[in-house]
Structure 1
Amino acid sequence: MHMHTQRLHWLVLVCCFLSTPAWSDAQTWKINLKNADIREFITQVSTITGKTFVVDPRVKGNVTVVSDRNLDTDAVYALFLSVLRVHGFGASRTGDVVRIVQSATVKQSGAPVNDDGGSLSEEVVTRVISARNVAAAELVKILRPMIPQYGHIAAVAQANVVIISDHADNIGRLLTIIRQVDVADEDEVVVVALEQAWVGSVVEILEQVAPDQIGKSADGPQRVLVIGNDRNNTLVLRGKSGPIAEVRSLIEQLDQPATSSGSTRVFKLNHADATGIAEILNGVLIDPRGRGDNSKSENTSIQADTSLNAIVVRADPGTITEIEDILRQLDIRKAQVLIEAAIVEISVDETSAIGIEAGAADATGESVPFVSTTLNGIISNVLSNIAATAGESGKIDPVQGIASVGSPTLAVARLDPDGVSFGAILNALAVNTSADLLSTPSVLTLDNEQANILAGQTVPFRTGSFTSTNNGASNPFTTIQRQDVGIELTVTPHIHDDSSIRLEVSQSVENVVNTGLEIGEAGFSDVVTNKRSIETTILADDRQTIVLGGLIQDDLRETRKRVPLIGSIPVLGRLFQNRSKARTKRHLLVFLRPTIQRNREEVADTTDRKYKGIWQVQIESRESGSESEPQLEQIYEGRRD
């Protein structure tokens, strides 16, 4: 079946090519193909045109051509190239040999270079085009969208040429565009130096006087581009020679000496600090090296008025205009940052103790007068208290005996005034203590301004002591220094353009250890404090809660008391021992949440939220919750409801 189809296609192809007039001055062909094999079509075109084709193995497919015109040899070849192009193939001619390859690789098949007259429109050629007035790279940006995917365009910056590989007809269109774009610029560029006037003022006047010629909306051949250079007080003009001459004449009339040597202006600041702004302006405008050859420095004076938060300036009009522009950028409302902190400290104390104490005594002294294994003194205190209550009657007061014991105790005793008294106590103690400390300080501060909040107390610390003698009398003196102890938070926020915040944080939690001593008591040397602190710099997003760090402390203390020798005996020695264990755990976490307050509405919302939080605590502490929601203004009247 396949062989039959190929023969049929071949027959149709031959018939189509033979459908030509029998006699004519020049031989012509009328080509009509229907689903013919492209390789057979290439063979027939080679026969008609006499050209040599080298066909890529990947060139496959069927073609259909419908035509009612008689074509000569050149027309048949042109039609052949068009059919190849439509089916994704291309022809590249090198000498007398034509390579037929896929369009994607035709630019690499050795296309003729700069063949101006010998290439047909459908052939792939390579052209090297020189640019005279426009940069080759700029031409590539303009022409690249017009190049098909299988084409190629590149710029050589050093030679300022453009290399294009494409079909000859498309390259012809690109050449037309290049000729229209690559033209000489007839505009002139003139630099005008101003001797009296300030460049900024002259530019503004020119734009107001001739907006259609100099303004931003100016267009057409009369347009003149005017650029002011503040650095050397010059104007740069670009345009046609005629309009430039008109503008230059106007500039000469404006460049005249000022009627006064200077003027004075007072700038009241709304947000910035006058002292800081004055330092900035003096550093920018006045010669920092103090040289006398700077005329602007000699005629400029800038002072700050702190009472009005204003800047007083005396300078020439150009300098005043420059200062006004600087103040417009510096005197802006700064954003604020609300830093909310949550300081959580969890401490757990576990204490356990167990031991046995025994003692015996003979009041008559006939046997052992006194023996005891007391290690903590519990049995000694109990027996002495019981003996004191028994008196001459010998009766024991059990209430007094129970009251003298401060921990869980199992005891047995016998008190004999005329014989041996003995007692034994089993003491066991287990204590668990936990404490949670939650502090939530918050502070509002400006961007790039440090804020500090301290909640605590002022504690006296002894720094020294001495004794003076006067007339034989001693006068002791003790010097102290008071320091703040408590929870302290110091933060400096820096707001970035992407609403992230860099925070310089210093946070500490400090408390006084209860030593049981007062100043002046024997053995007291100083106040002891426990302090936990964190100093770091972090980056957080707006309203993001972050944890600064955690501090975990785990202290374990074990104490064992025993009677020498006897207490070391296995098993039996436990009757002569007392063991205790104390364990302390502390966990400190600090959380921060920065919130940017950019306008008065956000500040008001935060204030109202904090105030309503106070009211909610007040409601929860009362039995009745029927109070109406308070207004913030009522707090200034001394009431909250």
Structure 2
Amino acid sequence: MVGFFLRFSSFYINLFRLVILASYLPAVVYCANFSASFRDADIKEFINTVSKNINKTIIIDPKVQGVVSVRSFEQLDKDKYYQFFLNVLDVYGYTVVEMPNNILKVIPAKRAKNSVVPLQKNAEETQGDELINRVFKLKYILAKNLAPLLRQLNDNTESGSIIHYDPSNVVLITGRAAVVNRLYSIISTLDQPGDAEIELYQLNHAIAADIIKLVNQVINPVNTTKKDLFNAGKVIADERTNSVLISGDSHTRKRAIKIIKRLDHQQDSYGTTKVIYMKYAQASKLLDVLNGVSSGVQSDNAKKIAGKSNARNVSIKAYDQTNALVITAHPKIMKELDQVIEKLDVRRAQVLVEAIIVETQNGEGLNLGIQWANKFHGGVNFIQNPDSIRANSSSENPLPMVISGLTAGFYKGNWDGLFTALATNSNNNILATPSIVTLDNMEAEFNVGQEVPVLTSTQTTATDKVYNSISRQSVGVMLKVKPQINQGDSVLLEIRQEVSSVADRSDANANNLGSVFNKRVVNNAVLVKSGETVVVGGLLDKKLNKVINKVPFLGDIPLIGRLFQQRKEKIEKSNLILFIRPTILRETSDYSKATADKYTEHNNLYSIDIKEPLEVLSEKIKNDEFNSLKNDIVEFYEMIGVKK
């Protein structure tokens, strides 16, 4: 028993010594090596075995099937063992896609490019047959030009693909890491700056701006407007010195200069002739403007245009029969003249000018028994009795009104109703209602009257024969209007109105001095909005009328007939008032609307008996139009002044 105890104690003492000794020995690193030997093994068993050895979870696609026979005659470390695994799968048409969390996925190679393949940024990160994505940013060459070459150098497996993206000039390559890294080396070698330089070529005859368009189209048949052409040649014009800048490689520059030299030659001194037909403008009226423009263009381009003589050979003629311009000039000047003509030959707006010229007797012609209100927008009235203006415009029976002095204002109301109201009063004498359409800034004239013979001189011959010299003078109603359309819808109207007549014979021939003419003239300029009515009045006229009342037969007896007569002298006063309304016509729809309105106005005018009293007339007019007319007229009364 004692011997057994001693042997057991000796065993533990030796074991303790070995532990102490081992603590002083150097550490030895354990490294696992693998040998692969599979014969007619199911591919899934092969994958599962590798999964255990490399300590990774591997997901197998259901389409992965087959039998594997492979053998390794040397010991492989973990990295080489994994590459051996990838090579075997590649031979059988499968590939491995790395997933997060230490997971691998084995799928058919043809489906690999549609899977989530990891993006590698560094070429040294991955080697071998692992499937990766890499993006290459090109600096000097175009991606669309390099991509076809890379596809030819690719291994052409179903798992690989090469795609280029032009806006960013990048190439995206999907494939085995070894192939992708090899293509990267090729890209780095090819993506190098070329021998692009810039040369300056001074033109002697041609124009730089015209030359560059032709040359760029020849040396760059592709889209030359993109900014990412890199080594592609490009020609830029320097109009200040009439020279061109050429960039690109030596071959491109030589080719561009050769083309420029052929184009830079002396042109015919007679220039180019062109016939331009006017659409709206009058050709003869554009001559002064175009000649002035061509003179300025010639002086600016005299140093740039070849054969400086043909820079001054500019001829501009108008052919009235076809309303065309015939221009002979250098192409540079011709181009600028074309631009000027295009901006001048535009459709001008027109103005429809409507007017009512009315003469009121004794100031009562505008007493229509109704009142104007709420439609006036301002004006001025020069009256003799300011106290006669009534403050209360709501009276149902307004007193007779007398217009005295100059009246002017703006009225915005029913034009047809205004005319009808004026025509229904027997104290009004409507002299004319002109309606004229004229171009912007063109004078229009309306004239209704007679040519009256006027004795200008008398000569008596030696044989007592009398010879009279006679001239003719126009009398009647004349209206001249010149509209000018301003910014917006305002119109500046220059108005000249004249009403003239021949005086009574008793007054005219009192001293045998010839005829006497009564004339009332107003010259005015006013700014008015389109569709608004201007009211101008105050052209007063006094006339002495002699009235003889007599007893029939007895009043005609010589000498004593005056006893049976009653003679009276009556002074009649009349006031001439002009209502004028401009309407801007810009579009075709405006003309159609104006025509329809005039047609409706004509029908309404002849469908109403103007002799009917206003009470009957009001029943024929719609209530809203009649009430609006009443409000319109009363405000005009408030403005022009009243006499009781």
TM-score using structure 2 length: 0.42
TM-score using structure 1 length: 0.42
Greater relative contact order (Cα 8 A, min sep 6): structure 1 or 2?
A: 2
